Structure formats: structure tokens, C-alpha cells
């Protein structure tokens, strides 16, 4: 079942175009990571999906128009905007009471259970919790809601590595199942690589890459080329080349360059799957270079 379907999604703030015709389709049970540089339009896209901003083009989330039906949509959609949005004056117990009061799908016992695993006290005010604890609390509230789509916008921003790891572990172990769908944006790409099922790069309001992780692994190959083989490797038209400790690492796209096979590459050096971060730099960095070149 399709959870999100967008066609020609556009949004402009004055003369700045935040979304420039985005097509997106997300099915149930997927975990999609949206990666993009600052100002690429990630948050605008999420805001449109959550009914927080108006847009042009077609957009359906769980069959609804988010802008017209935000409050109804929020029965089935949860989101964590970033770690700082829980009201600071609230007590933990009040947060539980309130969400239980207004949300038909909130399971208080589950939230209490999740909180019991942390050091958060019910009587604490949110302003007295650390950043990591606020994130734990928000995640506990959200995971106790039986929602169909969970949207996370930079959920781990500013958290230390232990909290970040715990955050995603908890999400995968205690929350995710095949009937739920998660949409996440982050700059901490490395932590997401083994969690995602789908990947999307967005740059300047446009989708520059959209594939499943299986496709990603099949399509992109990184080769740390042996010193003597660099010329031969370059002849195969890599999409990107970088140097680490004096050794050239070439990234190949087998999608556009179909006649390259792994064995051929293995003869040139050590073959591996690139990290999302490296592919991101290759794809988005390349585009920027090209456009700058065109401008000159």
C-alpha cells in the first residue's frame, strides 16, 4: 500500500525555490532516508507531507491532502521535528496525560514501559532534562502511538554518539515492523546506512537519486585501485575519484555503465560498497561542479 505519493511537488518562498517538481512514492513497510545539503528542501518536503506548509502539485499521504486535513492525518502520522520542540514548561507526567488525552492511538502503558528503561522521572520538567533525555522522551511518546507513518527530521541532531545509537536501536527493535513506514532526514548518514531500505538524495529542491538499498548495493561499486592500475581504472569512466593516503578510490555507477562487472574491477584493486556519504559527495558534489562549470 502506498503511504506517500507526490507528483510535481513545488514550493517557493518568494524567489527561492525550495521544491522544484518532486515526485515521490513511498510504500508501506519501508524506511526511507532523505539526504541533502542544508537548504536542499528536505525540511520543506517533510513539512508539506506533514501538513505544515502549503504546496503546489499533487500530494497524498495515507490518502489524504495533508494541508487540508492535518489534524486528521496526525492520528496516523507521528513526527519528531527535532530534539528541541517538546514544551519546556511541561512535566513528563503532563506530557503523558496530554498525549493520552488527545491521541486516540496512544498506548500509555507502552510509553511508561519505554520510559522505565531510561532515567527520566515522571515529575521532572522537560526544561530540566538533558538534550538526550528529551529525545528519549519524545521517542517514547511517539513509539507508544500506533501510527502508520513516522517522520523524523534530524531526530538526533546534537546528541552524543551513545544516545544516537540507542535512538535508532530502540526504533528498530521496539517499533518498526512491516506495517509501519519511517521517513527520516539526517546529516549523520553513516548511522543510517544499515537501517534504511530506501535512499533519496535531494539537492536544490530536486531529487537527484532515488533507489532502494538493494539497488544501491548492486549499482555502486567503490574500488581502491592499486597504484599501477589507475590509468586502466580511469578508462572505465568512474563517476567520482578521490584520494586517501595517496591511493586513488574510484566510484563506479554500474547503472549507467553496464558493461563493468565486479570481476573486472576486482582485478584493479579492492572492491567494496561505498558509504552513503561517499556516494552523496559523488552525486551532489559532481552536480554542483557541473553546474558551476556551465555557469562560467
Partner 1 sequence: MNAQSNAMTESSIQSQGTAPAAVSAARAMYWSIRREIWENRAIYIAPLAAAALFLFGFAINLLAMRRHLSASPLGPAQQNDLLATRYELSAAMVMGTALIVGIFYSLDALYGERRDRSILFWKSLPVSDLITVLSKLTIPLVILPLLSFAISLATQFLMLVLSSVILAGSGVNIAAMWTEVSFFHVSVVLLYHLLTVHGLYYAPIYGWLLMVSAWAPRAPFIWAFLPPFVIAVVEKVALNTSYFLDLLEERLVGLQGDGMASHNAPKDFTASLIPHHFFSAPGLWTGLALAAVFLFVAVRLRRYRGPI
> Does the footprint of partner 1 cover residue 115 (CB under 8 A)?
no
> Which of 26, 81, 139, 171 forms a contact with partner 1 (CB under 8 A)?
81
Enumerate residues 47-76 that contact partner 1 by CB under 8 A: 47, 50-54, 62-64, 70-76
Which residue stretch of 44-52, 114-122, 244-252, 258-266 sits at the interface with partner 1 (rule: CB under 8 A)? Answer: 44-52
Indicate the residue among 14 and 101 with the shorter CB distance to partner 1.
101
Q: What is the DSSP letter of 273?
A: P
Phi and psi at residue 50, to the nearest 5°: -90, 0
In 10 A of CB 192, how many CB atoms?
19
Among 19, 86, 149, 249, binds partner 1 (CB under 8 A): 86
Residue with smaller CB distance to partner 1, 171 or 250: 171
In angstroms, rounded to a whole number, what is the distance separating the alpha carbons of residues 259 and 246? 28
Neighbours of 136 (CB within 10 A): 24
Nearest in space to 84 (alpha carbons), one of 160, 135, 47: 135
Q: How far apart are CA 40 and CA 205, in angstroms?
A: 6
Report, in Å, the least distance between residue 176 CB and partner 1: 19
Least separation in angstroms between residue 200's CB and partner 1 is: 22
Site size for partner 1 (CB under 8 A): 38
Report d(CA 44, CA 40) in Å as an integer.
9
Residue 37, helix vs strand vs coil:
coil
Among 58, 85, 117, 289, binds partner 1 (CB under 8 A): 85
- Cβ(62)–Cβ(73) under 8 Å? yes
Near partner 1 by CB under 8 A: residue from 10, 28, 29, 98? 98
Interacting residues with partner 1 (CB under 8 A)? 47, 50-54, 62-64, 70-76, 78-81, 84-91, 94, 97-99, 101-105, 138
Amino acid at each position: 500500500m502506498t503511504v506517500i505519493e507526490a507528483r510535481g511537488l513545488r514550493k517557493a518562498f518568494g524567489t527561492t525555490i525550495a521544491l522544484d517538481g518532486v515526485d515521490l512514492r513511498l510504500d508501506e513497510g519501508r524506511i526511507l532516508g532523505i539526504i541533502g545539503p542544508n537548504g536542499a528542501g528536505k525540511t520543506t518536503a517533510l513539512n508539506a507531507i506533514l501538513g505544515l506548509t502549503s504546496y503546489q502539485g499533487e500530494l497524498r499521504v495515507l490518502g489524504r491532502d495533508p494541508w487540508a486535513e492535518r489534524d486528521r492525518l496526525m492520528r496516523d502520522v507521528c513526527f519528531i521535528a527535532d530534539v528541541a520542540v517538546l514544551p519546556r514548561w511541561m512535566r513528563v507526567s503532563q506530557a503523558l496525560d496530554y498525549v493520552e488525552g488527545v491521541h486516540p492511538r496512544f498506548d500509555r502503558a507502552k510509553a511508561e514501559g519505554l520510559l522505565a528503561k531510561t532515567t527520566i522521572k515522571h515529575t521532572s520538567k522537560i526544561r530540566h532534562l538533558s538534550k538526550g533525555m528529551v529525545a528519549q522522551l519524545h521517542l517514547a511518546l511517539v513509539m507508544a502511538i500506533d501510527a502508520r507513518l513516522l517522520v523524523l527530521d534530524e531526530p538526533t541532531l546534537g546528541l552524543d554518539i551513545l544516545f544516537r545509537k540507542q535512538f535508532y536501536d530502540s526504533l528498530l527493535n521496539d517499533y518498526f515492523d512491516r506495517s509501519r513506514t519511517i521517513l527520516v532526514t539526517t546529516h549523520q548518514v553513516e548511522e543510517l546506512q544499515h537501517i534504511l531500505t530506501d535512499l533519496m538524495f535531494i539537492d536544490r529542491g530536486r531529487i537527484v537519486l532515488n533507489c532502494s538499498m538493494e539497488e544501491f548495493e548492486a549499482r555502486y561499486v567503490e574500488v581502491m585501485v592499486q597504484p599501477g592500475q589507475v590509468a586502466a581504472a580511469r578508462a572505465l569512466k568512474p563517476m567520482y575519484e578521490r584520494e586517501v593516503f595517496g591511493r586513488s578510490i574510484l566510484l563506479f555507477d554500474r547503472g549507467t555503465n553496464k558493461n563493468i562487472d565486479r570481476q573486472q574491477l576486482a582485478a584493479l584493486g579492492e572492491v567494496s560498497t561505498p558509504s552513503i556519504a561517499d556516494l552523496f559527495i559523488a552525486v551532489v558534489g559532481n552536480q554542483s561542479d557541473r553546474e558551476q562549470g556551465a555557469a562560467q
